[in-house]
Amino acid sequence: MSVSFFQQCVVRPVLRSLVIGLGSAALLGGMMAEAEAAQSRKARSSAVSLAKARVSKGRRAEAPEPISYGRRSGLHSTHDSLSLRSSVALVLDQNSSEILYSKNAEAVLPIASLTKLMTAMVVVEAQLPMDDVLEVTDEDVDNEKHSRSRLSVGTRLSRADMLHLALMSSENRAANALGRHYPGGVTAFVAAMNQKAAQLGMLDTTYVEPTGLSSRNQSSSMDLARLVLAAYQQPLIRDLSTSRGYDVQVGRRLQRFMNTNALVRNPNSGWDIGLQKTGYIAEAGRCLVMQARIAERNIVMVFLDSAGKNSRFADAERVRRWIQSIPPRRDDMGSTVPGGGPSS
C-alpha cells in the first residue's frame, strides 16, 4: 500500500472525525456554559428582587402612612341621613345663619390647605402692594411633607400671582412666600392669622404656619364657616379662588395652573360657586369649603376628613340635591321662601 493511498483512505478520515468530534464537543460545552451563565444571572436577579422587596416591606413597616385624625377618632363611623363620606359636615344658610345640616360639627381637626383662606385674608387686609415681586427661596421648600411644587427656587412672581396660585392651585411655596414677605416675616404673619381668627370668633382654631402642611393647623366646621363668611366679603378672594385656570410665566416657560376643585374646573357642573378652597394632607383627609347658590339660597358648606379623592365633591353634590328637594315654606308674612331646616 502506498503512503499516499494510506493518507487518503485512513489518516485523513480519522483526522476529520477527530476534528468534527472536537468541534461538537466544544459547541456542546459552549452551550452548556451559556446555559449555566443564564441560570446564574436569573438566580442573581431573583435574589436582588427579593432583597428589594424585603427592603421595601421593611420601609413600609417602619413608616406607615398616617391615618387621618378623624378616622383615628372613629368619626367616620358616625351615621348621617345623607350618607356623607366626610367625617365632619356643616351646611349653613348664609343669609339667616341657620344651620341646615351638621355632622360631628364640634370636632376639631387638621384643616390642611383650607389654611390658605386665612392666609389670603391676612394678605388682602394688610393692603400690601399686589404688584410687588416676591421670590421663591429655599425657605419656601416643603421639608415636612416633601410635597411637589411647580414653582422652582428662584421663581419671581408678583404678590397678586402668588395669591392667585395659593388660592386656586393650592401652591404651598406661593403661600409660604406670601407669609415670608409680610412685615416681620412668617412669625408675624402667623400671629396675624391667629389674631384674625380670634376677631372672627374662631375659638377652636389654631395656625402655626401659612400653608396647611402642618397637622397643627386645626379648626372646627363652625369656625371655618365663619371664615368663609368673612372671606366672601373680599371680592379678590372670591375671584381668585373660583378661577378655573391661570397662565403664569415661570422662568422662560409659560405654565398653565388649574383649580384644585373639580366642581369649578368643570364648566358643565351646573354649580354657581362664589368662593371655595380645597385641602389635603394625610392627617386631615380630603377637605372642602364652599359658598354656593343653590335653589335660590346662598349656602355655605364645610366638609372635613372625607375618604376618597373625589368624595368631598360627591358629598357637596348630595347636599345640593337634598337642598333642591326641600319644598318651599311660608314666612311669618305669608311669603314663599326656600324651604329647609336643621338636620343631621
Is pLDDT above 50 for 24?
no
Is pLDDT above 70 for 228?
yes
Is pLDDT above 80 for 268?
yes
CATH code where residue 232 lies: 3.40.710.10
DSSP letters, 306-326, are ESSTTHHHHHHHHHHHHHHHS
What percent of the chain is modeled with pLDDT above 70? 76
Residue 6 counted as domain residue: no
284-319 pLDDT, tens digit each = 999 999 999 999 999 999 999 998 889 999 999 999
Q: What pLDDT is stored for residue 323 in this prediction? A: 97
Enzyme catalytic residues: 113, 116, 170
- The rounded distance, in Å, linking the Cα atoms of 79 and 76 is 8
Is pLDDT above 90 for 332?
no
Sequence-separated (6 or more) residues with CB below 8 Å from residue 343: 81, 100, 101, 102
Is the pTM of the predicted complex or chain greater than 0.85? no
- The rounded distance, in Å, linking the Cα atoms of 175 and 164 is 10
By mean pLDDT, which of 17-31, 85-99, 205-219, 285-299 is the weakest?
Answer: 17-31
Residue 166 counted as domain residue: yes
Is pLDDT above 90 for 40?
no
Is pLDDT above 80 for 334?
no
pLDDT bucket at 341, cuts 50 / 70 / 90: low
Which comes out higher in pLDDT, residue 228 or 66? Answer: 228
| DSSP SS3 for 119 | helix
Average pLDDT, the chain: 86
- The rounded distance, in Å, linking the Cα atoms of 258 and 168 is 7
CA neighbours closer than 13 Å in the CB half-sphere of residue 211? 25
73-107 pLDDT, tens digit each = 999 999 999 999 999 999 999 999 999 999 999 99
Is pLDDT above 70 for 26?
no
Closest CA to 88 of 111, 115, 119, 117: 111
The domain of 313 spans 69-337
- The residue type of 183 is P
The separation between CA 92 and the C-alpha centre of its own chain, rounded to angstroms, equals 25
State whether the Cα torsion 195-196-197-203 is positive or negative. Answer: positive
For β-strands 86-93 and 297-306, DSSP reports them as antiparallel
Residue 79 counted as domain residue: yes
Residue 283 counted as domain residue: yes
DSSP letters, 39-96, are HHHHHHHHHHHHHHHHHHHHHHHHSPPPPPHHHHTTGGG---TT--SEEEEEEEETTT
- The rounded distance, in Å, linking the Cα atoms of 150 and 155 is 10
For β-strands 273-281 and 218-220, DSSP reports them as unpaired
148-169 pLDDT, tens digit each = 999 999 999 999 999 999 999 9
By residue count, the chain amounts to 344
Q: How many structural domains comprise the chain?
A: 1
**Cell digits of residue 267:** 364648566
Residue 280 counted as domain residue: yes
What number is the average pLDDT over the span 106-125? 98
For β-strands 253-258 and 245-250, DSSP reports them as antiparallel
3-state helix, strand, coil in the chain (%, to 5): 45, 20, 35
Residue 54 counted as domain residue: no
Residue 148 counted as domain residue: yes
What number is the average pLDDT over the span 321-339? 72
Is pLDDT above 50 for 179?
yes
